[in-house]
Structure 1
Amino acid sequence: MQEEEDSSMHYNNQTQQDEAQASLFAEGTLQPNRIQLNMHQKRDIVDAMLLKMQDALNISHVTLHYLKKKGRLRTHTASSKPALTSYHKVVRMKWVLSHINLIQGNENPTFEDMQYTIHIDEKWFYLNPNKRRFYLLPSKEDPYMAQQSRRFKLKVMFMAIIGKPLYGRNGELLYDGKYEIFPFTQQEMAKKSSKNRPAGTLVTKATQNVNREAIRHMLLNKVILAIVSKWLESVPKNVVIQWDNVRPHQIPTDEEFIAATQAHGFNI
Structure 2
Amino acid sequence: MVASVFSIYVRTVHRIWRQVKNSGMHVDVSHKRTGNCGRKRIQIDLTQFLEIPLRQWTTLDSLACSINMNKTTLFRRLKSGAIRRHSNAIKPILKEENKRSRFQFCISMLDESSIPQDPIFKGMYNIVHIDEKWFYMTKKI
Shorter chain as denominator, the TM-score bin is 0.3 to 0.5
**Which structure has greater helix proportion?**
2
Task: Give TM-score scaled by structure 1 length.
Answer: 0.18
